[in-house]
Amino acid sequence: MRLDTHDNTSQDYRRAREMRNIASPVENKLWVVLREAAKASGLKFRRQQAVHPFIAAFACMKARLLVEQDGDSHANSESYDRSRDKKLKEMGFVVLRFANDDVVQNAEGVAMEIVHQAGRLVKENKRKLLPKALLALALFGVLSPLPAAAAATPDYLSFGLGAYDFDKGDADRKSVDYRLEYESGVSLLPLITKSFNSVEPFLQAHPTLGFEGNTHGAIYANGGINFDIPFLRHGIFTWGEAAGAFARGNDARSVGSVLEFRSQLELGWRFDNDLRMTGFISHISNAHLVDNNPGAEIAGIYLHVPLTLLAQKNESSP
């Protein structure tokens, strides 16, 4: 797969500038509407994007989405267009095509469809990267020196604070995310079969229960499983999957469904007293159970406090 624009030449950029200067009124109209529609999504689109050896009318490089607007000149070039689209697909891009008539009759509808497809592709690309990241971190954890007591995990009470919809361009959609969660020290893998005892120092699965809310009034009660991968002496990587009930409260923006799923990655530090400090990034969506699935992205920090440490504090208090 080619890397975005790394293969572009000076001639490619010159052609792109020339095509921007001679754009048709219909193309200019779609560009104005598309830029406005993209603001709320936090996605960035480019006009007359060079992708050597081609020039795409519009592009969202984060989504690897290219958009072509076909005018009358394309009527006799279907064979070339198919060949071009095939080559772009081989380079890792998705190509959308719209006729001039579609833009003239419903420019706003075309723009919203483009933004929707770009958002969907961004989420799909993130999901494709997750297994590779997990495999790399799991191998790193297996090959790294671990403390002897790595498999002995206490129950945790976790406090989280983050930025809800941090990736959105519209400031009104952003809010403060807060969390209170419990993670059991019981590892589920050996309960499935004793053969999993051998992987306990490298991979553990712990059940969780949690409450999450934001300053727009939304609340999310969930339960799930955290997969912990310790590495080096103090490193900890956690992949979490949860499901639960979502109520938007005073938040005018719906996430589409009462049942929502949360995928989360954490990376942080384990102190000698089992206290953990981690950074996290989460994605909440309804996994397309309904047509409306805008999703939400959250980034923030956790303080994971072992209940044994809290008990020791209480015992030492007068």
Is it true that domain 10-117 has CATH number 3.40.960.10?
A: yes
What is the 3-state secondary structure of 135-163? Answer: HHHHHHHHHCCCCCCCCCCCCEEEEEEEE
Kindly give the confidence (pLDDT) of every residue in the chain, 318 residues in length, as a single tens digit, with 9 standing for 90 and above: 344 454 678 888 888 888 888 888 999 999 999 988 888 777 889 999 888 888 889 999 888 899 998 765 555 567 788 888 888 888 888 999 998 888 899 999 999 999 999 888 888 777 666 655 555 555 554 444 444 334 468 999 999 999 998 887 666 778 899 999 999 998 888 888 777 777 778 889 999 999 999 998 899 999 999 999 999 889 999 999 999 999 877 665 566 688 999 999 999 999 999 999 999 999 998 877 776 777 789 999 999 999 988 777 665 555
Task: Please give the pLDDT value at position 142.
Answer: 46
Looking at the chain, the domain(s) classified CATH 3.40.960.10 span 10-117
Task: Please give the pLDDT value at position 237.
Answer: 95
CB 242 within 8 A of CB 266: no
Task: Please give the pLDDT value at position 219.
Answer: 92
Q: Which of 165, 283, 259 is nearest to 214 (CA)?
A: 165
- Residue 239: other Cβ atoms inside 10 A: 20
So what's the architecture of 144-316 in CATH?
Beta Barrel (2.40)
Looking at the chain, the domain(s) classified CATH 2.40.160.20 span 144-316
Task: Please give the pLDDT value at position 242.
Answer: 93
Return the SS3 of 190.
Answer: helix
Tokens of 307: 């209940």
Amino acid at 242: A
Q: In angstroms, what is the C-alpha Rg of the chain?
A: 24
Amino acid at 87: K
Long-range contacts of residues 1-10, Cβ cutoff 8 Å, at least 24 apart: 1/91, 1/92, 2/51, 2/52, 2/91, 2/92, 4/61, 5/49, 5/50, 5/51, 5/52, 5/61, 7/52, 8/50, 8/51, 8/52, 9/52
